[in-house]
Amino acid sequence: MTFHEMNFDGLIGPTHNYSGLAVGNLASAKNAKNTSFPREAALQGIEKMRTLVRKGYKQGFLLPNARPDLNVLRNLGFTGTNAQIINKAAKQAPELLSMVYSASSMWAANAATVTPSLDSKDGKVHFTPANLLTTAHRAIEYPQTERILKAVFNNTKYFKVHSALYGQSEFADEGAANHTRLGSSYQDAGVGLFVYGRTGQSNLTRFPARQTLKASQAVARAHETRDALFLQQSPVAIDAGAFHNDVVAVGNGPALFFHEDAFVASQQAAVFAELAERMPFKAICVSRDDVSLADAISSYLFNSQLLASPDGSTHEMHLIAPTECRDNQAVFAYLERLIADDSQPIRTVTYVDVRQSMSNGGGPACLRLRVLMSNEEMAAINPNFIATEAQLDVLSGWVNQHYRDELSPADLADPQLMTESYDAFTDLEEVLNCEGVYRL
């Protein structure tokens, strides 16, 4: 049985806007209240998928959450018709309107944590939607995300989609953005490396430490993960703006590419030693002398996608990096030295333009969920969510038909935006033959 990695990118929704809702996300805060460009954002995401498809990688996509989520506003006391609810929220609590309009589900790395069948005791691929408790605009995502995952991975013989973890602060879970599956190859059982920011309810950082140890342990337990290791993210990195571990580290196969300040040093040596016992582990550490933590975070160097070759070989790996890495002199110089260094497996870098996502704090790796599957498991996926060239053309046409060119935070108060968005989602259900996912 042959296994391959497939990336599922989050399709960017029509209400992509900059409301600055994510505390600790420096890009989100910097661009708060700016005008966004939803059509451009979605087409940039589709073009990234197309780039990987043309390079020979297996690619899928996940639907965006439907926005605005008026059920949340109804739960919070707003009544009347849909338009009346929008008008009341705009006048009485505009911050809540921003919350229910957020298109943050585009960052599929936060959709769920995934354990492949090779690594689970029951031989199924497991998914746990992230509860995303730390921020209100993201905490409303998981009910829709669970339905979306069940629509894509709809064959229960091969896939098990769990419910999100119990909604309490000690079990705050941010999904695959804090989880890396490492292994000798795609054909061998691997190790789930779970990275957490805090052990209890209290933060020891200025910015929220979003992932908890208890949440990581609970996911590993629910997935019946054969081999899991737990490592704490450095508080220094969190307070510098690394709100998820995938802002300072990315791994694949036996390679872990990370910043010197990514992890708590007292734990790192022991965990790396355990990884080295299980595989030909390759730690690629970027020193703060080569790339400062500030440059790493502003360029999203480690939020690049680290990919094996299209045939699954981890001896010649590829980095899909945001164009901000090319534009940062120190980061670009480091990457040029890196790919010339034959002692490590990263051989090429491809730069992709996802500036609309980057302006809200999400790079190439934020936009995708990694899923390792056998050929048989891949054949069991709902084929409507596989990103062929033809399907990407369909999605581009849908975006061009329904998305606005520009969107400002003030536009959220216009009920017409709601109507346009709901029409778009209804059409998308028909296009992809997945009626009932949105329940509008």
Q: Where are the domains of the chain?
A: 3-67+102-432
pLDDT digits (tens, 9 = 90+) for 73-113: 999 999 999 999 999 999 999 999 999 999 999 999 999 99
Q: What is the pTM of this model?
A: 0.95
pLDDT digits (tens, 9 = 90+) for 340-355: 999 999 999 999 999 9
pLDDT digits (tens, 9 = 90+) for 278-296: 999 999 999 999 999 999 9
Residues 358 and 336: their CA atoms lie apart, in Å, by 22
pLDDT digits (tens, 9 = 90+) for 148-186: 999 999 999 999 999 999 999 999 999 999 999 999 999
Q: Helices 389-402 and 38-54 sit at what angle, rounded to 10 degrees?
A: 180
Distances (CA, A) of 257 to 134, 262, 284, 335, 338: 26, 10, 5, 12, 11
How confident is the model at residue 24, as a pLDDT?
A: 53
Active site residues: 174, 244, 366
pLDDT digits (tens, 9 = 90+) for 194-209: 999 998 655 566 788 8
Q: ∠ CA 207-101-368 to the nearest 5 degrees?
A: 65
Known binding site for substrate: residues?
19-28, 110, 137-138, 210, 246, 360
264-285 average pLDDT score: 97
Q: What is the per-residue DSSP string for 86-120?
A: HHHHHHH-HHHHHHHH--GGG-GGGTEEEE-GGGB
At position 21, the amino acid (one-letter code) is: L
52 touches 386 (CB < 8 A)? no
Query: What is the dotted CATH code of the domain comprising 3-67+102-432?
Result: 3.75.10.20
Residues 384 and 393: their CA atoms lie apart, in Å, by 13
In this structure, what are the phi and psi dihedrals at residue 60, rounded to the nearest 5 degrees? Answer: -130, -175
Known binding site: residues?
19-28, 110, 137-138, 210, 246, 360
How confident is the model at residue 21, as a pLDDT?
A: 57
How sure is the predictor about 236, in pLDDT bands with cuts at 50, 70 and 90? very high
How confident is the model at residue 27, as a pLDDT?
A: 47
How confident is the model at residue 34, as a pLDDT?
A: 72
